[in-house]
Amino acid sequence: MQKRITTAHGGGGEEMRELISGLFFKYFSNPYLEKLNDFAKVDISSRRIALSTDSFVVEPWSFPGGNIGDLAVCGTVNDISMSGATPLYLTCGFILPEGMPLEDLEEIVSAMARRASEAGVLIVTGDTKVVGRGAGPFINTAGVGAVPDGIDIGGEMAKVGDEVIVTGAVGSHGIAVLSKREGLSFSTEVLSDCAPLNKMVAALIENGIIPKVLRDPTRGGVAGALNEISVQSGVEIEIEDEAIPIEQGVRSACDMLGYDPLHIANEGCMLVVVSQKDAQRALELIQSCKYGEGAARIGRIAEGAPRVTAKTLLGTKRLVDPPSGELLPRIC
């Protein structure tokens, strides 16, 4: 008979201990976790740390190109990386529905372990709760990274003249989840771009390119992220529609459904704002990285009130609004 999650797996008793040692230790094995305390004590070499957290509620939990476990690790690794910090340790909280097949949980946990290994981070402490049928699985991860000396990257640091790079084609995560959820099929299958970006950030910093801003355009998409940066830095951002890399499958899906690809969530690309003098070298470094082949220079920081504009294919200028409401709920 298929083994399933019961309320006892979240109850603090024998069944929970069996789940922890039988499943979590099998995949997340490391000396911190195995101490079995409700905390992990870890060493950190820098006096400045970056902290981040995200809860993942994507529905369905599995989609073309990944599952909620891939997202839970990559999402927090990426948020930490956007500060310029080196992600080191993750915490992990599972909220599982009663009746969930244990093999589904194993699929999720094994994806988390693969991504943690790829990103070079350790999952050092965790928590499991079980709730009623129909809710979840939900996963929260929080992360800690070491901020290198002299690094001050943040949404408020963009200056007039800086350039904007996107590290890969946009919109594929949102369309991949949507296609699975709605049972849609497009001419070309769209896979989520879900990936850890920390090695790409490290490649820039190790080569002496310190970005002003790094931002992964998840919920709200590229339009949401650029608008946030424009407000935080108090600048206008001008992009060029033509320069934005979009896969054919994403473009067709957006045309069919009436979506703007700039509003669609991504999980494996980022926006990089760099000084003009660094832009070409930054692009080349990014393109040499595993997840950066499709990178492109898409615009620049201009003088003007905080807003985002795009030069259209017709040569006119349009306002790029952040999405309002929730276009695609439960996308991450």
Using CB under 8 A as the binding rule, the residues of this chain from 53 to 112 that contact its own copies are 53-57, 79-80, 82-83, 85, 89, 91-95
Sign of the Cα pseudo-torsion (51, 55, 58, 64, in order): positive
Closest CB to its own copies among 142 and 310? 142
Instruction: Report the nearest approach of its own copies to the CB of residue 8 (Å).
Output: 4
- Token look-up 């999405």 returns 323
Instruction: Name which of 76, 198, 205, 88 is nearest 149 in CA terms.
Output: 205
Stretch that binds its own copies, among 23-31, 103-111, 239-247, 324-332 (CB under 8 A): 324-332
Amino acid at 8: A
Amino acid at 263: H
Closest CB to its own copies among 49 and 203? 49
Instruction: Report the nearest approach of its own copies to the CB of residue 247 (Å).
Output: 21
Question: Binders of its own copies among 237-266, rule CB under 8 A?
Answer: 265
Question: Binders of its own copies among 10-39, rule CB under 8 A?
Answer: 10-16, 35-39
Instruction: Report the nearest approach of its own copies to the CB of residue 90 (Å).
Output: 9
Largest CA distance in the chain: 67
Binding-residue pattern over the window 206 to 225 for its own copies, x denoting contact by CB under 8 A: ---------xx-xxxx--x-
| Burial state string for 210-247 with b = 16 or more CB within 10 A and e = fewer than 16 | bbbbbbbbbbbbbbbbbbbbbebbebbbbbbbeebbbb
Closest CB to its own copies among 7 and 252? 7
Residue 326 in contact with its own copies, rule: CB under 8 A: yes
Amino acid at 24: F
Q: What angle do CA 226, 229, 232 make, to 5 degrees?
A: 155
CB 71 within 8 A of CB 267: yes
Question: Binders of its own copies among 260-319, rule CB under 8 A?
Answer: 265
Instruction: Name which of 66, 251, 231, 44 is nearest 215 in CA terms.
Output: 231
What residues does 138 pair with on adjacent strands? 95
Instruction: Report the nearest approach of its own copies to the CB of residue 149 (Å).
Output: 12
SS3 308: strand
Question: Binders of its own copies among 137-176, rule CB under 8 A?
Answer: 138, 140, 142, 144-145, 147, 154-156
Closest CB to its own copies among 266 and 297? 266
Closest CB to its own copies among 50 and 296? 50
- Out of 1, 2, 31, 134, the only residue in the binding site for its own copies (CB under 8 A) is 134
Question: For strand 296-302 and strand 236-240, is the pairing parallel, antiparallel, or unpaired?
Answer: antiparallel
CA atoms within 13 A on the CB side of 328: 32
Instruction: Report the nearest approach of its own copies to the CB of residue 240 (Å).
Output: 23
- Out of 71, 77, 113, 124, the only residue in the binding site for its own copies (CB under 8 A) is 124
